[in-house]
Amino acid sequence: MMQASVDASLSEFTRALARSEPKPAELRKHLAALQAELDEAFDAGVDVELLIHARSAAVDAVIQRLWNSQSWPEGERIALLASGGYGRGELLPHSDIDLLVLMDDGCDPEAYRDTLERFVPLLWDLKLDIGLSVRTVSETISQAASDITIATNLLETRTIAGSEQLRRKMSERAYSDETFTDRAFYLAKREEQRARHEKYGDTEYNLEPNVKTSPGSLRDIQTLNWITRRHFGFDPEGREDYSFLTPDERKLLTDGERFLWQLRWALHSLAGRNENRLLFDLQLGVAEKLRYEDGADGSKVERMMQRYYRYALGLAELNDVVLQYYDQVILGESAQSTPIPLNKRFQIVNDYIEVTHDRVFGHYPFALIEIFLMMAQHPEIRGIRASTIRLMREERHLIDDDFRSDLRVTSLFMEILKTPHALHKTLSRMKRYGILGRYLPEFGRIVGKMQHDLFHIYTVDAHTIKVIRNMVSLQSPSSFEKFPLASRLVHRLPKLELLYIAGLYHDIAKGRGGDHSELGAEEVEAFCRRHHLSERDTRLVSWLVRHHLLMSMTAQRKDPSDPEVVHEFARMIDSQVHLDYLYTLTVCDISATNPKLWNTWRGALLRQLYTETVRVMRKGLDSPLDRLGWIQATQSEVREILQSQGFGDAEIDALWSRLEPEYFMQDSTTEIAWQTAALLRHSDAQQPLVLIRDAKGGAAQGYVQILIHTPASEALFAATTATLEQLGLNIAEARIYSHSSDQTLSTFVVAAEDGHPLSHAERRHIKTELAEALDDPGDFSEIIHRRTSRKLKHFAFPTEVTFSNDTVHQRTLMEVITPDRPGLLARIGRVLLDLGIRLVSARIATLGERVEDVFVITDPAGGPIRDAELCAKTANALKSALDNLGQEPDRGR
């Protein structure tokens, strides 16, 4: 169904309307039939521009039919106008329809009252999203003078019925200074755009972008159109009248707009409403409607979203150019000050850098990189002159393999990395203007590449730039409070440029298949050799990229207070310098992945791993860990603390004799001293003891440690987690120690769901609820049922359960990877309880929509689980319990 078919359908639609009674129900039926044909045409690949104009023409015909069914007195003095998107003749399946009943000045509104009262209900009965205003010409202009939205809508009007002359009369005044002057209109629209971009975080890379209003979307294109219409004072038929645009810019504008229209049409069709957000649960359907296929470079959704992000980036670049043009033309910034020469290729004029002549990039290709070094060295420069941006765009084809190997070019790029400045802004500009992705083709491949999950909320390139931003920010005193250790280490790193290179390349191989860390290490080695780094520096940077996940995985999935974990980690670290670089890179990486991912608990775990690793490295790694010696040293240090508090050796020894040796391998001496003192002071061992204090000595702000001493019960973990989750607490860590045959000591680290510090009253309430629940843990309340969010439901995936045996500690490690769900840990505890499996400890890691929890478990006798049948039964039970969790009805908290 191509244009001829669309035209034929419209003609048949018009004939059907003419044969029908002008009744809304009949007209709706014909419009719905035509819309079905247009949807079918869209699915067949017909140009979406034809379809949106056809939809607009069809609605025109319907409204005209209703208008003409009425008898309008003084018909030459009234008109029905379309405005806004409908005024442009652009209607998507569920777009709103803005109408204006315009009356001539001096006419008697009462003469039209009866007819309007008959006509308007007919419009409502069409069941379309119609917005209607009734005003005289002067009333319309008066309201436009005080409302930029009305003034904007009046720039795009069409006569649907009635007097065209009346519309022209109004339009002449709408385009005059009687509403907004050219300057005032431009400033208002520019501020409107700034506020709108700020609402979306000033980024084109939102996870669920709004294709109508996000940065780089249709609204940006429309804003340029509105400013152009108002400035030139005419109603252009097409963009060929926009002489200030180059052919490539017009093509970008047209192609980008058409692609965004395709997305909107598909969204409206799938959602059945005026939905303009690329929601997760619609992205797959939209990709399929646009005929995307899975490929080696990503899934169909990732490929579609990458195209969207690249158009958004290109349109944002064009937006910069055009608005700068209007800054000069409308605001008078073209009145040039005296140029300030930088060298024979560049100069500064009105705080913008520009070339000294039009052939600079052609004669000196290396200047395509040099211009960014000039900006790095001169922070007073506000940006690049629009004419120079266009020249860069025309000449960036010069960036080829010879260019990339040119010593002048590689030296300039390294100088950019070495120059103290806001490097992330420079790299963002290089990316925005298409230079970075050409100079580093491996970076070009990740521009706009998304990862379809909730953990990575930015595209790979946006995440990379944010990592660099974090590295730069660490050098500011303002970062000390949030990143106290990293902000100190960054100042003692020998070469900051090596950290920047590692940050630039750590995710460079995402989406290629295989281990992106290994592939990235190979890419960065090639970069280092091309940029003439020493062999030592090359090895360090390659090591950082290869192991950039090592520290975060160790801290989050293992226990950094376990000396054996620390020894194992330390053996992977070549030197103190390697550790300093890795810690700094890890902090910057985590905090740039997802704003919710970095928290004080993760920060405390990483600092603990760093500190313990430094201690181990200073002592040396040549000899294996002496477990018995470690336990004896720990007990000796703790004993001194307890003796200073008045406790005697006999009571200390009596208590410790009932604790497993493993207990003294897991915690700091101050923790063990606090716990031991609490147990010694607790007189009634048959009653639960619940104590709460700040976790990690207050270093993990917002997190508290809960100490529980209670008569032994296999239901302890399930009862405790169910209670904590009912209280709206997130659990970060759990440990359970046997304390004689009939007592259990456990600790939980928790935080409020929204991260706020728990007040004294809240802590008292937690203690009360836990004490009540643990008085008879086998009778704990029903596991909570809370509604699973729309996003989490969309990213559901089958639960994975794996087992491995720890031959040193004679225990079994069970890893559970599953979608995040309310009541998750309580369900796991219930399954383990039912199967008679004993839980020793748990490490909780929530990564976006995904949890990766590690549980240390044993059989009832305290040994590893060697029964393969029991492992399979456990895995199946967990999968059954967890994979159905998000499908259950909401029963409240």
Give residue-wise pLDDT tens across range 608-655.
999 989 888 877 766 566 778 878 888 999 999 999 999 999 999 988
Instruction: Provide the pLDDT confidence category of residue 888 given band limits of 50, 70 and 90.
Output: very low
Say if residue 699's pLDDT is above 90.
no
Read off the pLDDT band of 714 (50, 70, 90): confident
CA distance 628 to 612: 18
Residue 452: band (very low, low, confident or very high) from pLDDT cuts 50, 70, 90? low
DSSP 3-state assignment of 856? strand
User: Helix axis angle, 407-418 relative to 496-505, nearest 10°?
Assistant: 110
Q: What is the pLDDT of residue 764?
A: 93
DSSP conformational letter for 419: S
pLDDT (mean) for 439-454: 85
Give the separation between CA 533 and CA 831, rounded to whole angstroms.
Answer: 55
Mean pLDDT of 136-159: 95
Q: Does the pLDDT at position 445 exceed 60?
A: yes
On the 0-12 / 13-18 / 19+ scale of CB atoms within 10 A, 341 is exposed
**pLDDT (mean) for 133-145:** 95
Q: Are 748 and 780 in contact (CB under 8 A)?
A: no
Mean pLDDT of all residues belonging to the chain? 88
Nearest 5 degrees, angle CA 415-CA 417-CA 421? 100
Q: What percent of the chain has pLDDT over 90?
A: 56
* Residue 782 binned pLDDT confidence (cut-offs 50, 70, 90): low
- Per-residue model confidence (pLDDT) at position 180: 94
Q: Report d(CA 311, CA 316) in Å as an integer.
A: 8
pLDDT at 164 over 50: yes
Q: Between 255 and 746, whose confidence is greater?
A: 255
Cβ atoms within 10 Å, residue 577:
15
Confidence of residue 688 (pLDDT cuts 50, 70, 90): confident
Residue with the bigger pLDDT between 732 and 396: it is 396
* Whole-number Å distance between alpha carbons of 871 and 877: 10
CA distance 433 to 395: 11
Where is average pLDDT lowest: 406-410, 841-845, 863-867?
841-845
Rounded to whole angstroms, the Cα distance separating 767 from 550 reads 37
Q: How far is CA 358 from CA 58, 361, 365, 390, in A?
A: 50, 8, 12, 10
Of 531 and 848, which is predicted with more confidence?
Answer: 531
pLDDT above 50 for 687: yes
Residues 83, 157 contacting (CB under 8 angstroms): yes
* Nearest-5° Cα angle at 187, 325 to 239: 45
282-293 average pLDDT score: 95
Output the DSSP codes for 713-778. Answer: -TTHHHHHHHHHHHTTEEEEEEEEEEETTTEEEEEEEEEETT-PPPPHHHHHHHHHHHHHHHTSGG
Query: Model's pTM, two decimal places?
Result: 0.79
Please check the confidence at residue 3 and state whether its pLDDT lies above 80: no
Q: To which H or E segment does residue 879 belong? A: helix 868-883
In this structure, the chain runs to a length of 893
Question: Above 50 in pLDDT, residue 893?
Answer: no
Q: Give tens-digit pLDDT for 485-521.
A: 999 999 989 999 999 999 999 999 998 888 999 999 9
Ranked by mean pLDDT, the top range of 72-81, 443-452, 734-743 is: 72-81
pLDDT category at 691 given cuts 50, 70, 90 is very high
Query: In this predicted structure, what is the pLDDT of residue 891?
Result: 33
